[in-house]
Structure 1
């Protein structure tokens, strides 16, 4: 079994348990790819420099980071450091980890979105100068070569735009693209126990979505950053992922717990078009699993996930 583990960037997400669990899964014979975010670390660095992180709202109501040139410089520095830390943690836990950005080997490629539609003061406007993009291709062959060689890839952004420019992208959707390209199970670790029917009550985890009606319930329950994770789950399954689990990063073995029915599990049967998606699982090495949904719903594709 191949598993893609998305480790979030929220301050409340402590990666130590997840890294030890990934190493344990690899020792048990599983192939694992780690994809990580780091939005809060970028914000912390900007604020330490006396700068204010900028977030914008799209006409669809999705909030995401606006990545100007200065923010992109900080982004590349911070994500490179986080990637090194995670690789070191995995190696200390016994996994032969190797760090990659989406630029390395052209792992994550796609188109750049330099202008985005936003809502400011109640009006629709176009903001230019955004360093963001949409992942359209994942080099699954590169990842498969590393996995077959016994390595555990740790993947981070930026992605590589068609013009050769490194640009930002959403980390949840990057993980979805990787899972779709590999035909893998995607485990999204965050700071809550799953998708909650009542966001204020951690005991209301929606355990499974196996039908379109159950997936509609998941979509209706998702709020804030969880909306992006549900969007990523749909894209992962549409791209060929075998299942998606959104679960708590805490605990001794959070990844194993997620695979053993922890958190919220979304099956391909939960999507109306699941039949065509599952038939193509893992078949196209260049498939990204990413779905273009129009400027109004993808203006935040430049954002790395907050959690």
Structure 2
């Protein structure tokens, strides 16, 4: 069977990095808005916080800051990854993680069946539980979810990916990953309205009913877009730099398409996928995206107050359609 280009595009997987309604729910399609005038950041908009899984990221400050923000009445949704923990677990089991490079030069994980099993154990089973417990201990009414719960994150599976190996373009099959196309916005809204703080992780639910891997940055982007929220991506650096070796070259504000092009040009390594996620978030309804240091004091409050790299909705040009809301029966 001939596969489409969409099926063969690189899977929505982790880049090597720092790394309730009763009968129906609203599946918010992750499409885009060609006009940005209606997207306005407001304290009533939820803040989606992506906590990175790099070895250098300590979530303790973020947990305390989330507790403060929730106590002040802010709606918070936490999204986390855990690529580093998955790699460590694979290595402890005597197996090597597999990373591949796309023709576009993006390096990402190839998720075979065994790796998918480890993902399911480590992310929703271990990391999500630990983070939810930490938030509960800080006084937050946290509720852990994976993307398969309540069909929270859904989309098509990508069983094959385009890669470059030994200088040659190839198609590698057997991947267990997918692209998030819909977000169960009403599930998250219901939780927030009942004073829960959702703590979300992959896997997502593929169209064929199978749990598959998805990139956590892009999962956070999809959620922020669906809820017209602010997205704060916490990582192990202070933001995006023109020169990663020079702190004074931090890009603090990105307000025009020309400035966004510069951001794309200077992003390297794991930051490339974060910029991609930022663009997707803004295209699908998010009001702003901030990339900031997870290890700063009060990292989220500081980011919302101006620290880090702030990407404005007007920095992204979109030719896609306005978001549609579709009712899906469970």
With normalisation by structure 2, the TM-score equals: 0.83
Aligned residue for 2:79?
35
1:225 shift after superposition: 0.3
1:5 and 1:201 map into 2 onto residues whose CA distance is: 26
- Pairing of 1:156-235 with structure 2 (within 5 A): 156-235=201-280
Aligned residue for 1:106?
151
- Contact map agreement 1:138 1:286 (CA 8 A) in 2: no
1:273 shift after superposition: 3.0
1:202 shift after superposition: 2.8
Cα displacement string for residues 224-275 of structure 1 (whole angstroms, at most 9, x for unaligned residues): 000000000000000000000000001220000000011000001111239x
The equivalent position to 2:179 in structure 1, one of 126, 130, 134, is 134
Pairing 1:16–2:60 present? yes
Q: Which runs of 5+ in 2 are unaligned?
A: 1-43
1:213 and 1:162 map into 2 onto residues whose CA distance is: 37
Cα displacement string for residues 47-105 of structure 1 (whole angstroms, at most 9, x for unaligned residues): 11111110000111111000000000111100021000010011111110000000000
1:285 shift after superposition: 5.0
Give the ranges of 4+ consecutive aligned residues of structure 1 lying more than 2 Å apart after TM superposition: 283-287
- Contact map agreement 1:181 1:285 (CA 8 A) in 2: no
SS at match of 1:169: coil
- Contact map agreement 1:195 1:246 (CA 8 A) in 2: yes
Cα displacement string for residues 137-163 of structure 1 (whole angstroms, at most 9, x for unaligned residues): 000110000001000000000000011
Aligned residue for 1:298?
none
Aligned residue for 1:265?
310
Aligned residue for 1:117?
162
2:326 and 2:276 map into 1 onto residues whose CA distance is: 21
- Contact map agreement 1:139 1:285 (CA 8 A) in 2: no
1:51 and 1:273 map into 2 onto residues whose CA distance is: 42
Q: Specify whether residues 285 and 12 from structure 1 end up closer, same or farther in structure 2 by C-alpha distance, changes over 3 A only.
A: farther
- Contact map agreement 1:14 1:249 (CA 8 A) in 2: yes
1:196 and 1:99 map into 2 onto residues whose CA distance is: 33
SS at match of 1:135: coil
Count of residues in Structure 1 that have an aligned counterpart in Structure 2: 282
2:297 and 2:326 map into 1 onto residues whose CA distance is: 35
Aligned residue for 1:26?
70
2:204 and 2:248 map into 1 onto residues whose CA distance is: 37
Cα displacement string for residues 166-195 of structure 1 (whole angstroms, at most 9, x for unaligned residues): 000110000000000000000000000000
CA RMSD of aligned residues (A): 1.5
